[in-house]
Amino acid sequence: MFGMDEKMINPVYLQIVEELKRKINSGSLKPGDAVASESALSREYGASRMTVRKGLAILAKDGYIYSIPGKGSFVQKPELNKYTIYYDEMKNSINTVDRSRLLEVNIIMPDEKLAGELQITRNKNVIVIRRLFFTEGKPIAYDLKYLPYSKGMPIVEEELEQATFPEMVSGSVSSFSLKKELTIYAQPPDEEIRRHLKIHDDLALLVIEQRIHNEENKPIGFCVTYFRGDYIKLKGRSE
């Protein structure tokens, strides 16, 4: 009869992953060092080469190692300047949007810049959605979303009022296939945004552009959200 500890032992390929991660994180294996060969790991762990390859594939995906055909696997140099940023337009580390107001849903002809962002011709119709985001009754963000229009495309204003950008485009494509890109920068507000966000001083905006592509890497949406600088803070972490 097996004890609890024996039942909870990780599969062999995960043991390989954890042991090599430990050696790399502790400095026993340094960037550029060769990892033990598949045959050596097979003997050490009493596992098939297929099991070993499964573990090495996980390490490669996690950025710990890379492979050179015919030579083996080596420790990857860490990307110290690479961060993962969590972004939700309705919630950040210092604020949560508790209400949004739909200002406009319209069909427009894109200018040159917008047509370029959506990779369409200028005679192609685009849906524009304008919203205001509020926290405790105070307007904190002005939101613009642009979606290429196709005939018969449903526009349900009640749904658009509260939906996030990925939710707006996921009706026509699987959420798992969406590819998202962010551009973040600061800028002073123009008069229209000052009016919407009730800015009466030199407060800067944090502007976040979102681009969403489908699995063929074709743009299916472009969004610009102008946040009051005192109502948003983003955090990133290295993996």
CATH number for the domain including 222? Answer: 3.40.1410.10
Q: Which two tokens stand for residue 41?
A: 């790991």
Q: What total of structural domains would you count in the chain?
A: 2
Task: Give the Cα separation of 35 and 56 in Å (integer).
Answer: 10
Same domain, yes or no: 133 and 39 = no
- The confidence score (pLDDT) of residue 95 equals 92
Same domain, yes or no: 195 and 117 = yes
Same domain, yes or no: 214 and 98 = yes
- The pTM (predicted TM-score) of the whole model is 0.72
Same domain, yes or no: 116 and 200 = yes
Same domain, yes or no: 8 and 88 = no
Averaged over 223-236, what is the pLDDT? 95
Output the average pLDDT for the chain.
89
Residue range 75-112, pLDDT digits in tens: 999 888 888 898 999 999 899 999 999 999 999 999 99
Residue range 140-199, pLDDT digits in tens: 999 999 999 877 665 655 556 666 776 766 666 677 788 899 999 999 999 999 999 999
- The confidence score (pLDDT) of residue 6 equals 42
Domain membership of residue 21 as a residue range? 3-75
What percent of the chain has a predicted confidence (pLDDT) above 90?
71
Task: Give the Cα separation of 35 and 179 in Å (integer).
Answer: 33
Same domain, yes or no: 88 and 205 = yes
Same domain, yes or no: 94 and 190 = yes
Model confidence band, residue 8 (pLDDT cutoffs 50, 70, 90): low
Smallest CA-to-CA distance from 200 within 231, 228, 232, 233 is with 228
Residue 35: CATH number of its domain: 1.10.10.10
Residue range 18-57, pLDDT digits in tens: 999 999 999 999 999 999 999 999 999 999 999 999 999 9
Task: Give the SS3 label for residue 92.
Answer: strand
Same domain, yes or no: 130 and 38 = no
Averaged over 226-239, what is the pLDDT? 90
Same domain, yes or no: 66 and 101 = no
DSSP letter (8 states) at residue 88? B
- The confidence score (pLDDT) of residue 4 equals 45
